[in-house]
Copies of this chain bind each other. A is one copy, B any other.
């Protein structure tokens, strides 16, 4: 066997693969980074509509305690600005329109107490989760035998409270609560600190946006690592020998001493492994599944709702686009509203044609913001469950039984293969910050062995 061409080959140039590559290069290693798409960033993708205006098709926010993402933004000189929150939030629930401030809309007192109780209880349970080894959590077996849906049905007896927390949780997971292990939900909540942090804009995961878009950080890492990077180069097969790993692509074979696989877990099954993946890992990757989300953009000449004292943040039970944010540029020169269709709603929404989707989005905004919303400039949407190289968004989720059954194999190296990707992070799992952490962790694992 000849000497390998590289120290490390990294598969996937999302934030995890980019972070791993950058760290390995800084440590003086010879690295090759391959990416199936014609762009870097993975589930983070900024589209520039004009020199002044861009939209975020994928991940876009940074929140408190997302320290690694913050460090990367600072290092690469990408500035941030606050998500617009001035004004009242809107709740549209079964035909009724209400204004509110902060996280919790105004419901009846019993519903409000019920909602508050459920959030507190989920947080309390989440605090007991063992983040690095969720299967060792005291109540792991019990919670992993339960869906999040079952827990909600049992604990939220007030319809409005149930509806609202369901929307909030679907916005967090991009999956239906029936799909999600309660243990995984609690793990995820703790991984991002607590439920309020995950749901909030201010002091929460949606607090800040990036000047020039979140993808610009990925692009700047890629520029710094440009001699390592090949786009349009999908990995097809991975062969491991005693001292070498060979990644086959349609273009060439790349050999290295170690490999970091930094793609969503459900996509791992698309690769051909020789020797084949350990059975446990193969079964784990079969179990994990990607969420489904559509981001729907409605563009206006101006963010007219701001003059009406509205923040643009809205929740509605009366549309497949259930959560809305004011996503206008920092200067507010143009009005941009972004709505999310989530989980089953996302799947159903994408069954309709573009015209129909635009009509639904517009009507939803008319209901929320008034007749002025009918006069739109442009409609654009982005469905992630249609993206072959992601398989869905935001992240891969554990159904019941997966964490306790095969979860311990999630990060386990296999000969020369190491695993990265936000799903392998114990902190900010599912977020850009978690992706970076996972890439750095995988790079550290590999460095210790080289």
Q: Is the CB of B283 within 8 A of A290?
A: yes
Q: Is the CB of B399 within 8 A of A401?
A: yes
CB proximity to B under 8 Å, residues A383-433: 383, 385-386, 388, 391-392, 399-402, 404-406
* A179 cross-chain contacts in B, Cβ below 8 A: 287, 399-402, 405
Q: Is the CB of A347 within 8 A of B283?
A: yes
**Cα separation A287 to B290 with both chains bound (whole Å):** 9
Check A178/B287 contact, CB under 8 A, given A147-B146, A391-B282: no
Closest residue on chain B to residue A175 by CB atoms: B401
Check A385/B283 contact, CB under 8 A, given A179-B399, A400-B179: yes
Q: Is the CB of A153 within 8 A of B149?
A: no
**Does A199 belong to the interface (CB within 8 Å)?**
no
* A344 cross-chain contacts in B, Cβ below 8 A: 405
**Does A276 belong to the interface (CB within 8 Å)?**
yes
* A58 cross-chain contacts in B, Cβ below 8 A: none
**Does A354 belong to the interface (CB within 8 Å)?**
no
Q: Is the CB of B401 within 8 A of A149?
A: yes
In the assembled complex, how far is the CB of residue A141 from the closest CB belonging to chain B, in whole angstroms?
8
Closest residue on chain B to residue A153 by CB atoms: B145
* A405 cross-chain contacts in B, Cβ below 8 A: 176, 178-179, 343-344, 347
Check A350/B400 contact, CB under 8 A, given A145-B177, A405-B176, A405-B344: no
In the assembled complex, how far is the CB of residue A403 from the closest CB belonging to chain B, in whole angstroms?
10
Report which of B146, B177, B287, B347 forms a contact with A279, defined as CB distance below 8 A: B347
In the assembled complex, how far is the CB of residue A80 from the closest CB belonging to chain B, in whole angstroms?
32
**Does A138 belong to the interface (CB within 8 Å)?**
no
In the assembled complex, how far is the CB of residue A178 from the closest CB belonging to chain B, in whole angstroms?
3
* A150 cross-chain contacts in B, Cβ below 8 A: 145-146, 150
**Does A289 belong to the interface (CB within 8 Å)?**
yes
**Does A337 belong to the interface (CB within 8 Å)?**
no
Max chain B CB contacts within 10 Å: which of A147, A283, A386, A406? A283
Closest residue on chain B to residue A385 by CB atoms: B279
In the assembled complex, how far is the CB of residue A410 from the closest CB belonging to chain B, in whole angstroms?
14
CB proximity to B under 8 Å, residues A27-44: none
Number of interface residues of A (CB under 8 A): 48
Q: Is the CB of A147 within 8 A of B145?
A: yes
Q: Is the CB of B153 within 8 A of A388?
A: no
CB proximity to B under 8 Å, residues A331-380: 343-344, 347, 350
Q: Is the CB of A276 within 8 A of B146?
A: no
* A282 cross-chain contacts in B, Cβ below 8 A: 385, 388, 391-392
In the assembled complex, how far is the CB of residue A405 from the closest CB belonging to chain B, in whole angstroms?
6
Q: Is the CB of A279 within 8 A of B386?
A: yes
**Cα separation A279 to B289 with both chains bound (whole Å):** 13
Closest residue on chain B to residue A178 by CB atoms: B401
Q: Is the CB of A289 within 8 A of B287?
A: yes
**Cα separation A376 to B266 with both chains bound (whole Å):** 43
**Does A326 belong to the interface (CB within 8 Å)?**
no
**Cα separation A19 to B145 with both chains bound (whole Å):** 38
CB proximity to B under 8 Å, residues A220-266: 266
**Does A269 belong to the interface (CB within 8 Å)?**
yes
* A343 cross-chain contacts in B, Cβ below 8 A: 405
**Cα separation A392 to B144 with both chains bound (whole Å):** 22
* A144 cross-chain contacts in B, Cβ below 8 A: 178
**Does A286 belong to the interface (CB within 8 Å)?**
yes
Top 9 A-B residue pairs of the complex, sorted by shortest distance between their CB atoms: A178-B401, A179-B401, A399-B399, A145-B149, A286-B289, A279-B385, A145-B178, A279-B386, A276-B388
- 28 CB < 8 A contacts A-B: A141-B178, A145-B147, A145-B153, A147-B400, A147-B401, A149-B401, A176-B401, A177-B401, A179-B399, A179-B400, A266-B269, A266-B286, A267-B269, A276-B386, A279-B350, A279-B385, A280-B385, A282-B388, A283-B385, A283-B391, A283-B392, A286-B289, A286-B290, A286-B391, A287-B399, A344-B405, A399-B399, A399-B400
